[in-house]
Amino acid sequence: MDRTEAFEKMLTDVLEQERSEKEQLDALRAQGGDKTATFKQLMSNRLVLTRIIALFREYGLVD
Query: What is the per-residue pLDDT across 21-45, written as a single tens digit (0 to 9) for each?
Result: 999 999 999 999 999 999 999 999 9
pLDDT at residue 61 is higher than 90: no
pLDDT band at 62 (very low <50, low <70, confident <90, very high): confident
From the number of C-beta atoms within 10 Å of its C-beta (0-12, 13-18, 19+), residue 62 rates as middle
Q: What is the pLDDT of residue 63?
A: 79
Query: What is the per-residue pLDDT across 4-18, written as a single tens digit (0 to 9) for each?
Result: 999 999 999 999 999
Residues in the chain: 63
pLDDT band at 49 (very low <50, low <70, confident <90, very high): very high
The answer to whether 50 and 18 have CB atoms below 8 angstroms apart is yes
DSSP 26-40: HHHHHTT-TTSHHHH
